[in-house]
A = this chain, B = another copy of it.
Amino acid sequence: MSRERVIQIERDILGKNNGIAAHNRALFLANDLLVFNLLSSPGAGKTTLLVRAASELKRTRPVGVIEGDQQTSHDAERIRAAGVPAIQVNTGKGCHLDAAMIGDAYRRLPPLTGGILFIENVGNLICPAAFDLGEACKIVLLSITEGEDKPLKYPDMFAASSLMVINKIDLAPLLEFDFGKTIEYARRVNPNIEVLLVSARTGEGLGALYAWIDRRAWHQRRAVEDIR
């Protein structure tokens, strides 16, 4: 198959996905729902972060989670154990969630009007960057055990994300991790990316993340009211 033909096929797949993502986005806005697409390498701590964040945020609004993994339903079970509705999507051979999977999973969640939907994508710093799911924004999680160079080595993911959450800061005393260098690298590929430092394990820094989410919710509500 020619290189040109492969590129055309990629365009067709992404074009079809973007149409469904636009439909998802309109539905989410109509339901006053704030949707985050959470991305990282495998094992960076997305589920641990979500268990804590969903438990806290559900005290004041509806919260739901869609979990993406190649196999297993462990992550959805961890979320449900915290009293938060969760739908597991298994991608099989697939390396990312797509907008159609999210549309289907969303219909299986209870109503979340006025609340927050977290989508935990498949652990993969490459492929999910290209797929719009209809989210308000992408959030990339980077754990300090992965090293400082990841924003430069996987630039598409950091360019596509509005927020970089640096996780596992409780391990900082044991590692030679340079926070300044990491943030500089991330801003080299995305000058507008915001940055928060957290430990999903100890809870350190999560207050600032909840405040960031509240600001996003306020801005989205304002934007929707302006349209209406």
Contacts and interface: CB of A to CB of B under 8 A. Distances in A.
Interface of A: 1, 6, 9, 12-13, 16, 41-43, 69-72, 74, 93, 95, 122-127, 130, 143, 145-147, 149-150, 152-156, 168, 171, 174
Given A9-B1, A41-B123, A93 B156 contact: yes
| Residue among A147, A171, A174 with most chain B CB within 10 A | A147
Given A95-B127, A143-B145, A145-B143, A154 B42 contact: yes
| Residue among A41, A43, A93, A149 with most chain B CB within 10 A | A43
Contact of A70 (B72, B143, B156): B156
Contact of A155 (B41, B70, B155): B70
Closest 8 CB pairs of A and B: A43-B146, A145-B145, A95-B126, A41-B42, A41-B41, A43-B147, A69-B153, A72-B152
Contacts of A124: 95, 124-127
Given A41-B42, A43-B147, A153 B72 contact: yes
B6 A123 contact: no
Nearest to A146: B43
Given A70-B156, A74-B153, A152-B72, A16 B41 contact: no
Given A9-B9, A149-B72, A153-B72, A127 B127 contact: yes
Nearest to A174: B174
B171 A126 contact: no
A165 to B, nearest CB: 15
